[in-house]
């Protein structure tokens, strides 16, 4: 198929369909509304279903029910809407239901604005809902990755029986780039735990309630073992010009695009600097960051938040390398020149 020019939000819809997703439940919210609009347009054309729920709370609970039926299903929203979904996210994690949840982050707190921000990192990566759960979180930095990582999210969800988050900022959701589509998933295996309304599956039980404390403790231990496997097998990252780097930049999402340009310009001035981009925010690429931290003089972390990922970087380096920080908030995205200025101010003095 030839490349098509499209928004990141539209690429998520196409990626979901190519992954075999056939059920979408959602409620419109800027800057994620094109996902619901695209799902309404395209899901019925391939025999799927789009349903606009009466609220975000309803949408996440519809997703819970659909995932129980063994089909690939998804929902999407933006920051305030994700907050409303969090009880249902915890229920889905507790019931071990594979599904995909997309958060196109906007400025906050409160209603904030519809500009891009990265201030939902702690909410999505660290939990957000109640209980001892973690979810895989993938962070695209291009429209192509909005498609590809959505497809990968469904594979991870089925492999580990878990909800998976796609975490992108409003910039990535709204920007337009050419997308080359991967091959579609042609067959999805029957799930032996799911409910298919037939004799074979009638004894299956989908639930997140365990009234006996010891039984719930055992369930939690089972979940922690699963999360340990995810940390072992599903780490994703990108490095750029790190082989001889004396300084290191770290950022994800749209920030990483700006950092890459800053690295190229600084290299042209003779500065030995590289960049690492976490693609999976959970599992976080701790080992590679620790390895690179041992080779550089210092690190600059750049975020569109008050400094939420920087804590994970500090833990990964075990505080052995000086960690510097620069941020913008409220939907303000720094220019390349701003990053270069911060590198010279904080790292090269």
- pLDDT tens per residue, range 126-160: 989 999 999 999 999 999 999 999 999 999 999 99
Query: How much is the pLDDT for 349?
Result: 83
What is the pLDDT averaged over residues 19-39? Answer: 97
Residues 62, 71 contacting (CB under 8 angstroms): no
pLDDT at 195 over 70: yes
What domains sit in the chain, N to C, each tagged with a CATH number? 4-233 (3.40.50.970), 237-347 (3.40.50.920)
How does residue 1 score in pLDDT terms, banded at 50, 70 and 90? low
Alpha helices, H only, the chain: 8-18, 33-42, 56-68, 79-94, 121-125, 143-160, 170-174, 213-233, 254-268, 286-293, 310-317, 336-342
- pLDDT tens per residue, range 264-316: 999 999 999 999 999 999 999 999 999 999 999 999 999 999 999 999 999 99
């Amino acid at each position: 198929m030839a490349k098509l020019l499209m928004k990141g939000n539209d690429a998520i819809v196409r990626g979901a369909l190519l992954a075999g997703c056939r059920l979408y439940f959602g409620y419109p919210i800027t800057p994620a509304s094109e996902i619901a609009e695209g799902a309404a347009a395209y899901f019925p054309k391939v025999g799927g279903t789009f349903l606009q729920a009466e609220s975000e709370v309803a949408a996440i609970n519809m997703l819970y029910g659909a995932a129980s039926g063994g089909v690939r299903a998804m929902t999407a929203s933006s920051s305030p809407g994700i907050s409303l979904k969090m009880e249902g996210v915890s229920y889905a994690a507790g019931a071990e239901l594979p599904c995909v949840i997309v958060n196109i982050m906007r400025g906050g707190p409160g209603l904030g604005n519809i500009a891009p921000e990265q201030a939902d990192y702690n909410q999505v990566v660290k939990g957000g809902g109640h209980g001892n759960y973690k979810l895989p979180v993938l962070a695209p930095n291009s429209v192509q990755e909005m498609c590809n990582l959505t497809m990968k999210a469904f594979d991870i969800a089925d492999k580990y029986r878990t909800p998976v988050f796609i975490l992108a900022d409003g910039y990535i959701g709204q920007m337009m780039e050419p997308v080359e589509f991967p091959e579609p998933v042609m067959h999805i295996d029957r799930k032996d735990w799911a409910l298919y309304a037939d004799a074979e599956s009638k004894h299956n039980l989908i639930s997140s309630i365990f009234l006996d404390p010891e039984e719930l403790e055992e369930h939690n231990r089972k979940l922690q073992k699963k999360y340990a496997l995810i940390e072992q097998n599903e780490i994703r990252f990108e490095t750029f010009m790190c082989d001889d780097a004396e300084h290191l930049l770290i950022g994800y999402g749209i920030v990483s695009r700006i950092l890459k340009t800053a690295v190229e310009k600084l290299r042209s001035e003779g500065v030995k600097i590289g960049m690492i981009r976490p693609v999976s925010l959970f599992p976080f690429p701790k080992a590679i960051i620790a390895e690179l931290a041992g080779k550089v003089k210092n690190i600059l972390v750049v975020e569109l938040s008050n400094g939420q990922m920087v804590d994970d970087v500090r833990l990964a380096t075990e505080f052995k390398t000086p960690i510097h920080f620069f941020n913008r908030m409220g939907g303000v995205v720094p220019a390349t020149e701003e990053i270069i200025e911060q590198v010279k101010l904080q790292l090269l003095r």
